[in-house]
């Protein structure tokens, strides 16, 4: 399981202020805390800062990479911002993950050259010009089309991360099942293609959100999840992921689990 730290996201008001104010120390400390908590990659998302997004992303990539040694997920709906981030990216820190392309043709044509040029990984969302399909069959159809297009362009399957798009279960009780079924369909058809979800959306509008988020990541892991964007400073959820890895047979001799126990992290 690739753990991607979610916290440097300008939809959180204090992050927006800290990025706009160029508060290097705050951002670097937040990056370090996430890595210490177990993040193996950090997501950078400043989608809510409109005027200086590209310059801010450049500053953010440089600031974070000066503090931690993990690769970054450059997360923006704007290809110019992604391009700006990649321009200053330090490739010695590992392969960047571009977040994201969709089934929208225009978007794909703008992002694809960046992925090919930088040989980075890419998140592909199961939506297209018509929006996000309600059911897993149609989401899989979009994923299937994207995987074919990307591999035809020479992107290795293991560099493709499909995000089946998590919508709140409070809006439609089937929203969780739709994601779980899409994950299963993808892994059944393309075992080497990676899957990724963001965790916080699922519980929007409900009480005790952490409880729901915790459960959702476990269920998703049972359905073949490879990567998750979450709060890696939340020790409880990190402990649950370790226990789940154990129960899915991915922790030989229970080594990681027992190590976490000895370190007081369970």
In the bound state with its own copies, the residue whose beta carbon lies nearer, of 105 and 259, is 259
- The residue with tokens 């020790």 is 235
| Size of site (CB under 8 A) for its own copies | 37
Burial of 152 (0-12, 13-18, 19+ CB in 10 A): exposed
With binding defined as CB under 8 A, does residue 244 bind its own copies?
A: yes
Smallest gap from Cβ 164 to its own copies, in A, equals 14
Residues 174-203 that bind its own copies (CB under 8 A): 174, 176-177, 180, 202
User: Which segment (19-27, 68-76, 141-149, 237-245) binds its own copies by CB under 8 A?
Assistant: 237-245
With binding defined as CB under 8 A, does residue 1 bind its own copies?
A: no
In the bound state with its own copies, the residue whose beta carbon lies nearer, of 52 and 172, is 172
Smallest gap from Cβ 191 to its own copies, in A, equals 15
Residues 98-157 that bind its own copies (CB under 8 A): none
Angstrom distance (rounded) from CA 143 to CA 156: 15
Build a one-symbol-per-residue string for 156-175: x at contacts with its own copies by CB under 8 A, - elsewhere. -------------xx--xx-
Contact 10, 49 (CB under 8 A): yes
Residues 6+ away with beta carbon under 8 Å from 46: 9, 10, 16, 19, 53, 56, 57, 60, 76, 81
Report residue 114 as tokens.
């960046």
In the bound state with its own copies, the residue whose beta carbon lies nearer, of 154 and 264, is 264
Residue from the set 29, 91, 109, 261 that interacts with its own copies by CB under 8 A: 261
Name which of 91, 83, 40 is nearest 65 in CA terms: 91
Q: What angle do CA 134, 139, 143 make, to 5 degrees?
A: 165
In the bound state with its own copies, the residue whose beta carbon lies nearer, of 155 and 179, is 179
Can you name the residues that pair with 194 across neighbouring β-strands? Answer: 161
Contact 198, 213 (CB under 8 A): no
- The residue with tokens 């089937």 is 174
Q: Distance of alpha carbon 90 from its chain centroid, rounded?
A: 19
In the bound state with its own copies, the residue whose beta carbon lies nearer, of 41 and 228, is 228
With binding defined as CB under 8 A, does residue 259 bind its own copies?
A: no
Smallest gap from Cβ 43 to its own copies, in A, equals 23
Contact residues toward its own copies (CB under 8 A) are 169-170, 173-174, 176-177, 180, 202, 206-208, 211-212, 214-216, 218-219, 221-223, 239-240, 243-244, 246-249, 251-254, 257-258, 261, 266
């Amino acid at each position: 399981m690739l753990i991607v730290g979610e916290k440097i996201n300008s939809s959180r008001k204090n992050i927006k202020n800290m990025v706009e104010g160029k508060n290097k120390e705050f951002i670097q400390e937040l990056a370090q805390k996430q890595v210490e908590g177990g993040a193996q990659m950090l997501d950078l998302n400043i989608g809510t800062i409109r005027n200086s997004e590209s310059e801010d992303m450049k500053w953010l990539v440089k600031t974070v990479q000066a503090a931690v040694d993990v690769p970054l997920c450059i997360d923006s709906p704007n290809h110019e911002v992604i391009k700006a981030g990649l321009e200053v990216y330090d490739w010695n820190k590992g392969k960047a993950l571009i977040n994201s392309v969709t089934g929208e043709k225009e978007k794909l044509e703008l992002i694809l050259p960046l992925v090919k040029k930088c040989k980075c990984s890419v998140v592909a969302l199961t939506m297209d010009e018509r929006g996000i399909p309600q059911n897993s069959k149609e989401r899989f159809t979009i994923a299937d089309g994207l995987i074919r297009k990307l591999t035809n362009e020479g992107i290795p399957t293991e560099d493709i991360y499909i995000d089946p798009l998590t919508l709140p279960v409070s809006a439609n009780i089937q929203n969780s099942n739709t994601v779980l079924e899409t994950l299963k369909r993808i892994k059944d058809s393309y075992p080497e293609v990676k899957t990724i979800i963001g965790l916080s959306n699922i519980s929007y509008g409900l009480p005790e959100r952490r409880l729901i988020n915790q459960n959702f990541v476990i269920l998703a892991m049972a359905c073949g999840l490879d990567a998750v964007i979450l709060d890696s400073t939340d020790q409880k959820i990190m402990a649950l992921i370790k226990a789940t890895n154990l129960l899915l047979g991915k922790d030989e001799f229970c080594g990681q689990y027992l190590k976490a126990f000895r370190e007081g992290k369970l």
